[in-house]
Amino acid sequence: MDHASKALHAFEKKYVTMVKVPMRLLGLFVTFAATTAFAGEYAVLASGARLHIDRHEADGAKVRLYYGSGFAELNSGAIRGFEEDGYIPPAASVIPETPAVLNATQASAPVPLAPGDLADAAADKYGLPRELVRSVMAAESGMAPGTISPKGAIGLMQLMPGTAQVLGANPYDPAQNVDAGTRYLRDLLEKYNYGLRHALAAYNAGPGAVDRYNGIPPYRETIEYISRIERKLKAANLKP
């Protein structure tokens, strides 16, 4: 077991094992039940986001959402239900706000948090060391919210669009980006039994690469990525 196991053994919450996958469109309604569905549909996440998928498989507390040749596995509690491709949700009733209410809302709008503060808030929420989340953010984007990589990864935690969609997050919103990225990092730690190097390698190169090599893939970029983060953790007296 990795040295990080001891440092991170207190992490407990279980949510979702993520796989980076592409998106495509098909269509037919299938009821959310402990059966297999075989046509296109929308998965309605607990966050309210609607994700277009090919099909799903439900088995007790787990649900697999299939997109083309890939899939994402979620806890059933993260799914509100499923809708047919052509389903149009009823419009929610809206109570018009008076000018006075609008002015009060505008006056009380929160000031956006700095990247470091977003990292600390997400780390506390998901039970991770603050310096770990800050170090991953620094390695991913240099703490720059508008960063977009040549491969299309977005924002402070460099989320791929497909990963962000499955997590129900807007990757262009810094707060949602950091929250989703930290949750994904926590899920990877759980997937690899709190082996920090394996989780970092999966965050950088994808879980598929780690599983294929049964460990850290021999990619120079990934090896240097892990080393940078470990140096920051050691400097902060957090043993990797």
Q: Domain ranges for the chain, please list them.
A: 26-83, 113-235
**Residues facing 72 on adjacent strands:** 65
131 given a catalytic annotation: no
Is the CB of residue 120 less than 8 Å from the CB of residue 133?
yes
Is the CB of residue 119 less than 8 Å from the CB of residue 134?
yes
Query: Among residues 185, 208, 206, which one has the least CA distance to residue 195?
Result: 185
Q: Which residues of the chain have pLDDT under 50?
A: 1-38, 102
- The reported pLDDT for the residue numbered 224 is 97
Is the CB of residue 66 less than 8 Å from the CB of residue 55?
yes
- The reported pLDDT for the residue numbered 73 is 76
- The reported pLDDT for the residue numbered 190 is 96
Q: Is the dihedral of CA 50, 13, 9, 139 positive or negative?
A: positive
- The reported pLDDT for the residue numbered 28 is 29
Selected catalytic residue, list 83, 140, 190, 230:
140
- The reported pLDDT for the residue numbered 97 is 58
- The reported pLDDT for the residue numbered 87 is 56
- The reported pLDDT for the residue numbered 26 is 31
Alpha helices in the chain (DSSP H): 4-8, 99-107, 115-126, 130-141, 161-166, 174-191, 196-205, 207-213, 220-235
- The reported pLDDT for the residue numbered 94 is 58
**H or E segment to which residue 83 belongs:** strand 79-83
Q: Within 13 A of 45's CA, how many CA atoms are on the CB side?
A: 21
Query: Among residues 120, 128, 124, 119, which one has the least CA distance to residue 199?
Result: 128
- The reported pLDDT for the residue numbered 101 is 54
Top-tier CATH class for 113-235? mainly alpha
DSSP reduced 3-state for 36: strand
